[in-house]
Amino acid sequence: MDISHPLDVKRGTYIGEMSRLATLCSLHSHYIDAIKGLWFLIYRTRLPVEPDYNWTKSNIVGRWQNRC
């Protein structure tokens, strides 16, 4: 029995964290480093979600442009 969250919940959490990081970072280069850190943190700690490259690719520009 799989007790983990559905994929859409995991994706929403990951993308929400991308938005939070965009708000906190003052430079785009810092934001890129923070996103890399987020991805590796989740991947290396083997949490129940493995961030999809497409989640990052399709959201990274929009999250940075819409930060406030």
37-50: pLDDT as tens digits: 988 887 776 655 56
What is d(CA 26, CA 8) in angstroms, rounded to the nearest whole number?
Answer: 29
pTM over 0.85: no
Domain that holds residue 24: 8-65
Q: Is residue 2 part of a domain?
A: no
Amino acid found at 42? I
Q: How many domains does the chain have?
A: 1
- What value does the mean pLDDT take over residues 1-7? 68
- What value does the mean pLDDT take over residues 11-24? 92
Amino acid found at 15? I
40-55 burial code (b ≥16 CB/10 A, e <16): eebeeeeeebebeeeb
